[in-house]
Every structure is written in structure tokens, then in C-alpha cells.
Amino acid sequence: MGIADWTTLADRVDVRALHQRVADEVELASLIGDCEVVVIMRERTPFTRSLFARLPALKLLVTSGMRNAAIDLAAAREHGVTVCGTGSQAAPPAELTWALILALARHVTQESAAFRANGPWQSTVGTDLQGRTLGIIGLGNIGRRVARVAAAFNMRVLAWSQNLTAARAEASGAMLTSKESLLAESDFVTIHLVLSDRTRGLLGAAELRGMKRTACLINTSRAPIVDRQALVQALREGWIAGAGLDVFEEEPVSADDPLRSLANVVATPHLGYVSRDNYRTYYGEAIEDIAAFIDGRPIRTLIADR
């Protein structure tokens, strides 16, 4: 695919790829048990204490990105495994966020499906973004990019997170407000937070009921930040108008997942970071990390406990 040049390691390592997610730990260990180096994609594959114990040959674990809550770093250290990561760009998930917002606002999925099926012509009325309010929960690297685009659409931007200051919000063209006010006033609410103990379940039934019935929720961050049961109920019962989702608690999503059948959901299969430039960063730096490890040189993307 021209993403990264693995041939630079050809005479030093035997490279093989697993294209499917292997959920069973015993099966996974049987497939990679002889590997000294493993490269994993984001948080798709948990590396638990028990998995490390099944991989005595493992010496280096490389993850895309510098955050991976699915890796037990203490267990890695105890088993003598070096864990490192790569850079990751903020632009791709910010761009996908706007793809989901626009798809919801202009009913793109519904109208495109009708077009292909020779269905009704022009059957929906879209929502204007100009003059509407965008609420951003988490104004970090990605959230700030989302805010800048909102300005181009002449949207009012509200922002909130636990540590956000009014000055930082203003510098990004947003106004700091309370979580409750943001949810009550926003026409679109988008989440850009790191999953942690204090953000898990941050939006539950009470918070979703506090949104406008005409509002849409967008989550390209981490699924557990929103209570799943409450979200499904909100979408079914019309507490909110719709949701744009790129992240799910179980991936791939099961065939009978209710989110697959809700007409007011626009969903993508965790594509936020899936772009050519990002993949070049991931795999290009992974190759650099592996070469440095083999050479005994310092690895600049070493991950320590956070």
C-alpha cells in the first residue's frame, strides 16, 4: 500500500501481519507466541498481565500513538518488555468529526441510500450550521481543530472540560461554560476527551435528557465516555435527534447491536485515525523504533507509566 517501507528491516526481522482482530487470548498467543517484537494498532488488542505471561519471547511492544489504556504497563515491565509508541496526528479525527456533523445535519446517509435505491427524490430538509451552537467537550489538540472549523461555518462555540480555563477557551474561539449549560444550549455536542476514571460514563441519562431534543451527539473519542444504555434509549425515545459515532465499546460491533438499526445514527467503524498520513506516521515510526531497539539505541517514543 506504500504506507511504510518494511524492507528496511528485511534482513533483520521476519515480518508477518495479522489482519483480523483475535479476541481470544489463547488463540492470539498461539499466533504470536514466537515473536520478539509485536506492533499493535491503538487499543484494539488488550495486552493484559495474563497475555504477557503467555508471550515469554516478547521483548518489544510498539503501539500506534502514545496513549494505549489497553496495555498493562506494569505487567510489561515485570516481564521485561519494552513498550513504545509513535506520533499521531490530530487532523484526521477532527476531519471525521466534521464529516459526521455534516452527514447528520444534511441527512447525507439517508439521501444517498435513497438515490442508489431509486427512492424518493429530496425527501429531507437539512439543518443549517450557520448560527447554530456547537458544544465541544474537551478542547485539546483535536477539540481546538474542531473549534476552528466551526468558526468558518459561523457557529457559536461553547466548550467545557474539567480543567479548561476561560482564557484557553477564548484563544480557540470558544466560550467556557458549565457542562450543563453546554448540553442545554448546543445544537451539536462533540466529545474530544481521553478515557479515564473521571471521564468514563461522563454522559449518562441525566446529561442526555439535558440536551435539546433537536440536538445531535458526536463521539469520535472513546465509547465508554457515554453510557451506552442511556444513549440507545435517548436515540430510541427521541431525547436527542441523532448521533454520529465512530467508537464503540465492542469492536467490531455485533450484528444484533441496536445501534446498527437506529435510523438516527450515522456510524463509521472507528475511522478517526485511519488516514494515509497517519498510517505513514504510525508504521514509519514503528520501523524506526524497531531498528533502534535492535541496534541498542535509545527509543525516542518510549512509553512510561502515566
Q: Which residues are catalytic?
A: 222, 251, 270
Residue (of 186, 190, 193) closest to 224 by Cα position: 193
Please state, in angstroms and as integers, the Cα–Cα distance from residue 106 to each residue in 50, 141, 144, 218, 243, following that order.
47, 27, 24, 15, 13
Give per-residue burial for 260-291: e unless 16+ CB within 10 Å, then b.
eebeebbbbebebbbbeebbebbbebbbbbbe
Strands (E), 15-112: 37-40, 60-63, 82-84
Sole residue written with cell 521476519: 14
In angstroms, the CA 147 to CA 164 distance is 14
Q: Collapse the DSSP code of 107 into the 3-class scheme (helix H, G, I; strand E, B; otherwise coil) and give the result.
A: coil
**Do residues 147 and 173 make contact, with C-beta atoms less than 8 angstroms apart?**
yes
Q: Which residues contact 179 (CB under 8 A, 6 or more apart)?
A: 137, 160, 207
In angstroms, the CA 41 to CA 131 distance is 39
Backbone angles phi, psi at 115, to 5 degrees: -60, -45
What grid cell was written down for 53? 505471561
In angstroms, the CA 268 to CA 272 distance is 9
**Do residues 132 and 187 make contact, with C-beta atoms less than 8 angstroms apart?**
yes
In angstroms, the CA 216 to CA 38 distance is 39
